[in-house]
Amino acid sequence: MPEGDTIHRAARTLHMALAGCTITRFETALPALARIDFDTPLRGRAVQSVESRGKWCLMRFSGDLVLVTHMRMHGSWHLYRPGAPWRQARPDMRVLIATPDYEAVAFNVPVAEFHTERSLGRHPVLKALGPDLIASQFDQGAAVQKLRASAAPDIAWALLDQRVMAGVGNVFKSEILFLCAINPFAAVSSLTGAQLERLVTTARKLVALNARLPTQPHDAFYPGSRRTTGMMSPRARLWVYDRAGKPCRRCGTPIRVVRQGLDARGTYWCPSCQPLAICD
């Protein structure tokens, strides 16, 4: 699933392929985007830049136009050479941006909006994002303060709140908590300052490290090699996520999982390494 590292790699790949190039063709299955293209065509504009903000991807075009996309659970950007076969079905296409050398195709993207720089500055979700874990000017103190002030029912939900830190998703949530030996259901108020500092430091380290992983040549969203363990085996990439019932890599205790929220997201943890009541 796309998290902050995935979106950063996607934006970097799209930027390298498209920035400075002229759009030769634009297609969309989304009426709101089609109306903008009809009134002020994308064809002939130049792609100026592509960047990530947390889990959001921003593609800027000449003429003060910005395409903002969010992948949610199943969306993805692919990058193809002209005429190359797509690896997803045509009905799944939501946006296509073609240049002389590449076709960037967004599949199953649930959120895609056009903005001007002015309207982008008023975007309620983007304005509310917490410090971006991948940003070069990451504000550690602000992230710790926002985490401490979170009204989330437990620390697992607090880490997923993009208003606290932008970039943590469900996989990283479970992995960060395991590495910090913190039970996912602990109240934020029960954690010490040192624990909150360690959570933020670990989150930034894991997301930034995975954001630097190489991408597939023709797939901007490359989910295959996210690692938190430092182990090279493809079967030992993660500590606890998606390992329910399997032995903890540290102590051998079976990993547990609870499904939470409307999306039934899995929270994975080791009950021995992450007891509910712990000391700093």
Does the annotation mark 51 as catalytic?
no
Does the annotation mark 72 as catalytic?
no
For residue 21, count CB atoms less than 10 angstroms from its CB and return exposed for 0-12, middle for 13-18, buried for 19 or more.
middle
Residue 16 burial (CB count, 10 A): 13
DSSP 193-250: HHHHHHHHHHHHHHHHHHHTS--BTTBS---TT--SS---STTSS-SSTT-TTSBPTT
CA angle 27/29/35 to nearest 5° reads 75
Residue 102 burial (CB count, 10 A): 20
Amino acid in position 70: H
Catalytic residue among 146, 173, 226, 265: 265
CA distance 189 to 169: 22
Tokens for 97? 């941006």
Which of 174, 145, 159 lies closest to 266, judged by CA? Answer: 174
Catalytic residue among 3, 103, 184, 198: 3
CA distance 232 to 151: 38
Does the annotation mark 265 as catalytic?
yes
Catalytic residue among 9, 55, 198, 243: 55
Catalytic residue among 2, 60, 198, 243: 2
Cβ distance 110 to 72 under 8 Å?
yes
Cβ distance 42 to 23 under 8 Å?
yes
Q: 177's torsion region: left (phi>0), alpha (psi -120 to 50) or beta?
A: alpha
* Residue positions annotated with a catalytic role: 2-3, 55, 265
